[in-house]
Amino acid sequence: MGDTKKPDKDGGTSTPSPLNPKQQSRRDFLEGAGATAVVTTAVPVLGISAANAQQADNAASAPTTSIRLTVNGVSHSVDVEDRWTLVELLRDQLDLTGTKIGCDRSECGACTVLMNGKPVYSCSQLAVWADGAEITTVEGLAQNGQLSTLQQAFVDNNGPQCGFCTPGQLMTATALLNNSQSPNSDEVRSALVGNLCRCSNYNAIVEAVVSAGEKQGGVA
Amino acid sequence: MKTLSNINASSISDAVAAAQQALGNGQSIAFSGGGTDLLQQIKDGTDRSDVIINLRNVTDASQITSNGSGTAIGGLITLTDLSGSDVSAVLAEAAASVGTPQIRNVATLSGNVTQRPWCWYYRNGFNCYKAGGNECFSVVGENQQHAIFGGGPSFIVHPSDVAPALVALNASFVVSGPAGERSLSAQEFFVLPSQNPQQENVLAPGELLSGVNIPSAPSNTVSTYHKIMDREAWTHAEVSVAAVLTLAGNRVEAASIVLGGVATIPWKLDAVESFLVGKELTEAVVREAGALAVADAQPLTKNGHKVPMTSAAVERTLMSLASV
């Protein structure tokens, strides 16, 4: 699929972390744990199979297009179904599951990625529209195993609570900090209006972005 | 998502030709600028297009060009670019008030002006006028957000923020289609439900809004856009006011005032405009203008709050432009 090796699933680092020496991702863990649930919930599983079968029928006639795009600096040539959204391509084909699907309708911001440097909702872009684009996802923020200043500020300020909105918040805030040296809290709030946090941890998120901006801008 | 095919257009004429071909094959089509709303409608089943004509790669319709007589704006300019432009305060402010940064980064002027209504019945699959049926469910239903002007037989509110600003600027609307290009006034472009309850504008299948032309205004012209929402961000207007005033000191030489969020099309307040011309913008005059703005309002059973809200919005907008 990709020209080069597939990115790692969660975060793009290949150095074993002292916090996670087995390099087991949360996804691997949940998928493993899910095997038990299958045995105990026969009815929903049958329902899902029927839905998958129908999906497969449709897929036989679904138009596809070959596209080329760069994701986190890695070039990919991919055959995509025209109806796939960009987030479906990222998660289901490129295994970049850091980008989340929340509402799947441009309302929550969990799917935010940078497209040619600008934050967009990847649930509301067709993958074919990203042909030739440069995409940055949350996996592209850490460099050489080192969290970005913003990611570290999220850790230091308890930005994530449940964490589901965090990848989207990080991407929108990354775009803000790329264009604005040290934004104040009002500017951060207005830049982040398109990213909902159902834990309502907005104050900590805004503080994290402001403090990352101060570090970056050399104020602090 | 349902099966569909995507065609990338490289120019407006290319897009029109692709649309003609698909329509000729009996396929339904949708043009896509930013696509954020279109994809929602496709996922929800309220848009069942077979072919999406992607306008992302069209390069001949996203520029702003000015000459002696006015300014031409390509319909595919993004709302982010429009909000940062210096064409007119009312237009930049209206564009900046739409959705969220993620939406504005891809959404276009044309897409915003021609988006389908956000009535909760239409958007949730009711077979109403807008979906091709012959009923407006809001009449005896939940009509808190529906029209107090221009309603019947459908009572949707026109969803655009950019449209009231364009109408206030006396813009003309450039429509491209198989017959070529035509330029329409706002009055010709937007249609009341009494004229055609299924559509909000005259665009036929295969036609698109490719741009707008804004005539030059005198240098002593000021403008602004005020939008009242039921939360602080990321929603449509309960009521909005686009105001363009030409002022000599504090005396009104010309006025153009258009409402959003309360009518089935961008709602021009002709009576308020002619009332204001020649008057000083005092508090008493502004209050009278606010009362006059809603003289013809026809609220439904549950949207009466929009009447005083509209008066207040008109008053505040005018006061913010007064040079006192």
Measured distance between the N- and C-terminal CA atoms of chain A, rounded to whole angstroms: 44
CATH classification of the domain holding A101: 3.10.20.30
Give the model's pLDDT for residue B323: 77
State which residue of chain B sits closest to A116, comparing Cα positions.
Answer: B105
Facing residue for A194 by CB, picked from B52, B54, B103:
B103
CB < 8 Å from B in window 80-119 of A: 82-85, 104-107, 109, 112, 115, 118-119
pLDDT per position as a tens digit, B143-155? 999 999 999 999 9
| Residue B159: domain span | 64-116+148-215
Based on the domain organization, do A33 and A73 belong to the same domain? no
Give the model's pLDDT for residue A8: 44
What is the pLDDT confidence band of residue A37, given thresholds at 50, 70 and 90?
very low
Q: Which ipTM score applies to this complex?
A: 0.96
Does residue A26 carry a pLDDT above 70? no
In whole angstroms, give the CA distance from residue A191 to residue B167: 29
Q: Which residues on adjacent β-strands are paired with residue A146?
A: A143
pLDDT per position as a tens digit, B61-82? 999 999 889 999 999 999 999 9
Q: Who's near B24: CB < 8 A, 6+ residues apart?
A: none
Q: Answer whether A154 touches B (CB < 8 Å).
A: no
Based on the domain organization, do B168 and B244 belong to the same domain? no
Based on the domain organization, do B226 and B203 belong to the same domain? no
Q: Answer whether A135 touches B (CB < 8 Å).
A: no
- How many other CB atoms are found less than 10 A from the CB of residue A81? 21
- Rounded to an integer, the average pLDDT of B90-105 is 98
| Residue A51: domain span | 25-61
Q: Which of A61, A80, A111 is the last residue of a domain?
A: A61
- Residues B1, A61: C-beta atoms closer than 8 Å: no
Among A80, A195, A87, A114, smallest CA distance to B39 is for: A87
- Contact of B72 with B87, CB cutoff 8 Å: no
State which residue of chain B sits closest to A168, comparing Cα positions.
Answer: B102
What CA–CA distances, in Å, run from B90 to B64, B221, B277, B280, B282?
Answer: 16, 11, 19, 21, 22
Interhelix angle A166-179/A149-156, rounded to 10 degrees, is: 130
Based on the domain organization, do A68 and A136 belong to the same domain? yes
Domain assignment present for residue B122? The answer is no
Based on the domain organization, do A146 and A216 belong to the same domain? yes
- Per the model's pLDDT, the better-predicted residue between A14 and B189 turns out to be B189
- Per the model's pLDDT, the better-predicted residue between A56 and A138 turns out to be A138
- Residues B6, A62: C-beta atoms closer than 8 Å: no
Q: Which of B13, B38, B55 is the last residue of a domain?
A: B55
What is the pLDDT confidence band of residue B223, given thresholds at 50, 70 and 90?
very high
What is the pLDDT confidence band of residue A42, given thresholds at 50, 70 and 90?
very low
Domain assignment present for residue B82? The answer is yes
pLDDT, chain B, mean? 97
Based on the domain organization, do B209 and B232 belong to the same domain? no
Q: Give B3's contacts in chain A (Cβ within 8 Å).
A: 58, 61-63, 83
Q: Answer whether A186 touches B (CB < 8 Å).
A: no
Based on the domain organization, do A42 and A108 belong to the same domain? no
Q: Give A104's contacts in chain B (Cβ within 8 Å).
A: 43
What CA–CA distances, in Å, run from A209 to A119, A169, A216, B156?
Answer: 16, 9, 10, 40
In whole angstroms, give the CA distance from residue B85 to residue B16: 28
Q: Answer whether B235 touches A (CB < 8 Å).
A: no
Facing residue for B102 by CB, picked from A61, A112, A126:
A112
Weakest mean pLDDT among A44-58, A135-149, B60-74, B200-214:
A44-58
Based on the domain organization, do B42 and B96 belong to the same domain? no
Based on the domain organization, do B229 and B176 belong to the same domain? no
Domain assignment present for residue A8? The answer is no
Based on the domain organization, do B246 and B311 belong to the same domain? yes
CATH classification of the domain holding B12: 3.30.43.10
Domain assignment present for residue A189? The answer is yes
The first and second tokens of residue B301, run together, are 């059973």
Domain assignment present for residue B135? The answer is no
What is the pLDDT confidence band of residue B34, given thresholds at 50, 70 and 90?
very high
In whole angstroms, give the CA distance from residue B125 to residue B39: 15
Domain assignment present for residue B136? The answer is no
Domain assignment present for residue A180? The answer is yes
Based on the domain organization, do B47 and B109 belong to the same domain? no
Based on the domain organization, do A164 and A178 belong to the same domain? yes
Q: Answer whether B233 touches A (CB < 8 Å).
A: yes
Based on the domain organization, do B170 and B264 belong to the same domain? no
Domain count, chain B: 3
Q: Who's near A181: CB < 8 A, 6+ residues apart?
A: A213, A216, A217
Based on the domain organization, do B287 and B268 belong to the same domain? yes
Based on the domain organization, do B171 and B207 belong to the same domain? yes
Give the model's pLDDT for residue A61: 82
- Residues A63, B4: C-beta atoms closer than 8 Å: yes
pLDDT per position as a tens digit, B232-273? 889 999 999 999 999 999 999 999 999 999 999 999 999 999
Sign (positive/negative) of CA torsion B136, B142, B145, B149? Answer: positive
State which residue of chain A sits closest to B42, comparing Cα positions.
Answer: A83
Q: Answer whether A58 touches B (CB < 8 Å).
A: yes
- Residues B40, A194: C-beta atoms closer than 8 Å: no
CATH classification of the domain holding B75: 3.30.465.10
Domain count, chain A: 3
Domain assignment present for residue A181? The answer is yes
Q: Which of B55, B74, B89 is the last residue of a domain?
A: B55
What 8-state DSSP symbol labels residue B130? G
In whole angstroms, give the CA distance from residue B6 to residue B25: 15
Based on the domain organization, do B38 and B69 belong to the same domain? no
- A65, A81, A82: which to substitute to probe chain B, counting the most B Cβ within 10 Å? A82
CATH classification of the domain holding B302: 3.30.390.50
Report CA dihedral (B168, B172, B178, B179) to the nearest 10 degrees. Answer: 140
Report CA dihedral (A204, A206, A212, A218) to the nearest 10 degrees. Answer: -120
Q: Answer whether B103 touches A (CB < 8 Å).
A: yes
Based on the domain organization, do B163 and B21 belong to the same domain? no
